[in-house]
Amino acid sequence: MEAPNLHLTMGNWLANHWLSVLFLVSWLGLNIFLFVCAFLNYEKSDKYFYTREILGTALAFARASASCLNFNSMMILIPVCRNLLSFLRGTCSFCNRTLRKPLDHNLIFHKLVAYMICVFTAIHVIAHLFNFERYSRSQQAMDGSLAFVLSNLSHHEKEGDSWLNPIQSPNTTVMYATFTSVAGLTGVIATTALVLMVTSAMEFIRRNYFELFWYTHHLFIVYIICLGIHGLGGIVRGQTEESMGESHPSNCSNAFLEWDKYEWSCRRPHFVGHPPQSWKWILAPIALYIFERTLRFYRSQQKVVITKVKKYTLSIAVIKALFYLSAKLNCHDVHPKGIKMMRKRGFSMEVGQYIFVNCPSISFLEWHPFTLTSAPEEEFFSIHIRAAGDWTENLIKTFERQHSPMPRIEVDGPFGTVSEDVFQYEVAVLVGAGIGVTPFASILKSIWYKFQRADNKLKTQKIYFYWICRETGAFAWFNNLLNSLEQEMEELGKTDFLNYRLFLTGWDSNIAGHAALNFDKATDVLTGLKQKTSFGRPMWDNEFSRIAAAHPKSVVGVFLCGPRTLAKSLRKCCQRYSSLDPRKVQFYFNKEMF
């Protein structure tokens, strides 16, 4: 049975991700193509015959890796241009969901490009270490070899282009040549910036020391500047076209002792450094990124007024906070005696989108992403904030100051996510873990509003909602929403439209005993909802088997906002319970990432 199951799994996976695979293979193919072309050019071309005489094969490795570095440095900024991705997602909204799938993996691709940059940087640096060592060795050889003669071509010829070895004296060390040349110094700075960016982006640091990751990652500016001017020194040189006619290596390389000695003898070769190439690769992405940041700065200047702040106190004293923001308001302030709900203007959102929030009183530079928990139909937009680091803790403390004015908040967004596609499926399975329920709160609210309209035409016929929490207090975040949905579905006779289940993974014997004693009551003692809370984690095989049996010919979209381990389980279930026959049930896995 294992072989057919494996075949089925691979078939389903390729059906869902064929465009992503094609894009990834194309990117890898371009890297291989650029590397091989540059390597063969520098390894075989007569133009670099004399350069190879000093440097050997390390020349080809250095230049081939440089070509790939330029290509990947061009690609690294595009996946983080969020406005561009949101525009593409909106433009492709009419397309098949498979065509939009690669947009959901922008950060994964960003990381892959970064890893590729690290690989080619290592090759480039190691190759140039060999190059500088061979430059130094040939300068000190004193053996009359061709490499020695080439290394001693003067740097002060009238033509100004006769030299080949950047190390001018036997007394010049490799270290000195590295830190006194444009190429060497910018290379050291760029490599140092790259190492700091990559190490600070490790998941442990990113989750526990986000500020360190945030500030260090902006060293990409230093990296880009150094990359743009790295080639100004023209250290790697090739023979000029004119010199090739007078002293072609195939005829004159063995007669180097008679260069310029007689009128009929070969002329001394002349060399020229390459003009900088990197800036040509990165100019367009930099212009795009500058436009992106300019647009984000402009949008962040819109007026934002906090209309409501609500704090949820949990049993384990983990602070959660809810607040509402309204941008481009019709009035100028909030009524001093209470909450005044205001209409938003100039802020267009879809379900499941997210915004970036900045609080200048905490940090001018730090922007943190939060999923919108409001529906597009509402007159305000809202987010939930969980204390998960210094910045969020400071923000919540700022809101808790009773006699202080509300802090100034800047907002950038909204930006699109995979959750926007939820209403494109006949059946939707929503799985939220803890605070990961936030994108689904927006979706469920939007459903409530859609059912209020008589002209409602939802493609989605059934929604399964799973919410997994560690503590009972977390269910209070959206109790009112779930209660309203229960009532609305009953009034409309659509009790089968929404099937939701709540799972409590952290409890003690008192909680379990209390729930068991009151199990016969109409409402759950923990949440007050008609749906009883389950203890433990969902048995996903049972859940998927039940859904597949209930919808044997439907396309089911599975959406997750939660940890990686849960994503792995759900992805396997989607592959396992999807039919190889496209006319039968198909599960499409979608994970929220920003």
| Architecture (CATH level 2) of domain 419-448+459-472+494-507+523-591 | 3-Layer(aba) Sandwich (3.40)
The pTM is what?
A: 0.79
- Lowest mean pLDDT, pick from 111-125, 128-142, 158-172: 158-172
Instruction: Note whether 322 and 316 are within 8 A (CB).
Output: no
pLDDT confidence of residue 243: 79
pLDDT over 80 (residue 70): yes
515-528 confidence digits (pLDDT tens): 666 555 656 666 66
Comparing C-alpha atoms, which of 407, 419, 429 is closest to residue 321? 407
Q: 387: which 2 tokens?
A: 């204390």
Pairing of strands 427-433, 271-273: unpaired
- Alpha-carbon distances of 10 from 4, 5, 16, 22, rounded to whole Å: 10, 9, 10, 15
Give SS3 for 498.
strand
CA distance 360 to 441: 28
Residue 27 confidence (pLDDT): 95
Higher pLDDT, 423 or 15: 423
pLDDT of 537-556, one tens digit each?
A: 889 989 899 998 888 888 88
Question: What is the reported pLDDT for 263?
Answer: 65
Question: Tens digit of pLDDT for each residue in 251-288?
Answer: 887 777 767 666 666 788 888 887 888 889 999 999 99
What stretch(es) of the chain map to CATH 2.40.30.10? 301-415
- Cβ(89)–Cβ(420) under 8 Å? yes
> Can you tell me the mean pLDDT for 347-363?
83
What number is the average pLDDT over the span 91-117?
A: 77
Asked if residues 235 and 163 have their Cβ atoms less than 8 Å apart, the reply is no
Predicted pLDDT of residue 402: 65
Q: CATH 3.40.50.80 spans which residues of the chain? A: 419-448+459-472+494-507+523-591
The model's pLDDT over 284-330, given as tens digits with 9 standing for 90+, comes to 999 999 998 888 888 877 777 777 776 665 443 233 343 444 433 33
pLDDT tens digits, 201-256: 988 888 778 888 888 999 999 999 999 998 887 788 888 888 787 778 888 877 77
Among 85-99, 268-282, 384-398, 466-480, the least confident range:
85-99
> Is 3.60.70.12 the CATH classification of the domain at 301-415?
no
Please state the rounded mean pLDDT for residues 61-73.
95
Between 454 and 38, the higher pLDDT residue = 38
List of E strands, 233-389: 237-239, 271-273, 304-312, 320-327, 354-358, 368-371, 381-386
The reported pLDDT for the residue numbered 500 is: 82
| pLDDT for position 196 | 95
